[in-house]
Amino acid sequence: MLKAAKADAILPVNRIKPHTAFRDNLASGLFKMLTVGLGKVPGATQVHRLSSAGMYQAIIEMGRQALISFRLLVDLQLSKTAGEETAVIELLLPSEMEDREMELLKYANSLLPDCPSATRHSDN
């Protein structure tokens, strides 16, 4: 994060997708990139030592602090279909990043296939 903090500007590029450890408003998008990605191995290690709930809260708090601390020009967010095809590409200004990431996560979730619920059949 030291290099990121010293940079004239940062342009994160990330994919919006559900996280495997928790389900909430933000997951594997910009906020995770700002905390785990820019934190490199030390940042990733620190965040992944937490429980699922602790990990989510740390990503939110650290992401919000990064939005304040770093000079982010824009964020390039990608959403892909289950077949790995690009569905949406958006450039976001810092003032809209958190709210729009939540909306894009909902959209990314809608692109995933549903598993049919199992039903039990009996021969009566």
Would you list the domain boundaries of the chain? 2-111
- pLDDT, tens only, 39-91: 788 878 888 888 777 888 888 888 888 888 888 878 887 787 777 888 888 88
Threshold 0.85, pTM exceeds: no
What residues have CB less than 8 Å from 38, skipping those under 6 apart? 1, 4, 10, 12, 66
Q: How many helices (H) and strands (E) does the chain have?
A: 5, 3
Report the pLDDT value the prediction gives residue 106, as an integer from 0 to 100: 84
pLDDT band of residue 24 (cuts 50, 70, 90) is low
Three-state secondary structure call for residue 117? coil
**Of the candidate ranges 7-11, 21-25, 56-60, 94-98, the one whose mean pLDDT is the lowest:** 21-25
C-alpha to C-alpha distance for 43 and 39, rounded to whole angstroms: 4
C-alpha to C-alpha distance for 67 and 78, rounded to whole angstroms: 19
